[in-house]
Structure 1
């Protein structure tokens, strides 16, 4: 006797969630373990950069550039943000992370205006684009603010705002404030890691915010699906 379609779908969704969790755990280990193994070396690099004058300025410029590029390229923005906090402290790191994130949102908005929805679809796929459409249509700028810390969806939502010609002034105000909150968290984590003498702790903290936001977004999508509507995901 064939299994009911609902049960097959439920088992498929459960297996997909298990694969996603396993992939995330593996990525977390790949990122954090090297920082634990080479912790002393990395702490000495941070100390050298803090006193390095032009070298520190070059690192700041390069890392801000990476955050800007994250809108269209697979850059681990949380790790870059924490590294900036570790190197330049909570205040300097917050400012640099905010500049990078805000620069990226401006580029993403402009790219969305010029290239439209095909660029969003290329970023997240058709299924997740449908979920993102519903989320933004229902909650507008609040959705963009929440998704600031969700991997992939953060960038896709910004591009979608541009593709939908969202009012630029309101978009910029919300993004500036949201980016400031994210920047403050990442910079504080990095600065705390250096003060505690643990880069592994800092890198684990760097993964915590996007992981939590991703899990909340996935849970909200599954809840909507269970209530009768299709669920969107972070991909």
Structure 2
């Protein structure tokens, strides 16, 4: 989880608070288009590298507004999920295991066989689980149309929640609290997902 904080934290540590303020300042910082493009690109790359999507969406919403951030999240995260699905479907298990632990992947393969659509929808906010589920869907050769439907719906809801939190926190001048919430919620959901899956896993 500490790695997930690298995107917003490392620039502040290396370059100081002044850089961070400039990065997210409405005047004098990077253009809105540049931030939007970078945000979508990072969210799409979440399947390959650990990107803190919740905090990133909160920060984007603070600068660009929640509707733009929510749309960027839905598009970027869905593109990343589709990429993971295709990697697993075309590259097979050996390629999928480069990003997910074998036991983790096996658990979600069993789960997605039972209830793939609901699992795709519900897993979107949970880091690690979200990636494992789309990889499992690729290995199981879920129809791509069905995958995209539930993936986009889940990512839209997830992005909307994080974006609204970030926008509201910025308006009330408590953005650090909003970002902290967007870090804590996925961590909590990850713990719940692991606990529930562990309870439901059949004995070998």
The residue number in structure 2 matching 1:94 is 70
Alpha-carbon spacing, 1:39–1:200, altered in 2? closer, same or farther (3 Å): farther
TM-score, length-normalised on structure 2?
0.84
Q: Which runs of 5+ in 1 are unaligned?
A: 1-23, 231-235
Provide closer, same or farther for how the CA distance between residues 99 and 29 of structure 1 changes in structure 2, counting only shifts above 3 A: closer
Aligned twin of 1:123? 99
CA distance in 2, matches of 1:123, 1:78: 20
Aligned counterpart, 2:151: 175
1:103 to 75, 79, 82: 79
Alignment partner of 2:38: what SS? helix
The residue aligned with 1:46 is 24
DSSP-derived class of the 1:189 partner: helix
Task: Give the CA deviation at 1:133.
Answer: 1.5
RMSD between aligned residues: 2.8
Greater mean alpha carbon deviation, residues 204-213 or residues 216-225 = 216-225
| 1:145 paired residue number | 121
Secondary structure of the residue aligned to 1:229 is: coil
Q: After TM superposition, which residue ranges in structure 1, 4 or more long, deviate above 4 angstroms?
A: 26-32, 38-45, 51-54
Greater Cα radius of gyration, structure 1 or 2 = 1
Residue correspondences, number: 199
Distance 1:102 1:222, change over 3 A: closer
* Superposed displacement of residue 27, structure 1: 7.3
Cross-structure match for 1:207: 183
Maintained 8 Å contact 1:67/1:100: yes
Unaligned runs of 5+ in 2: none
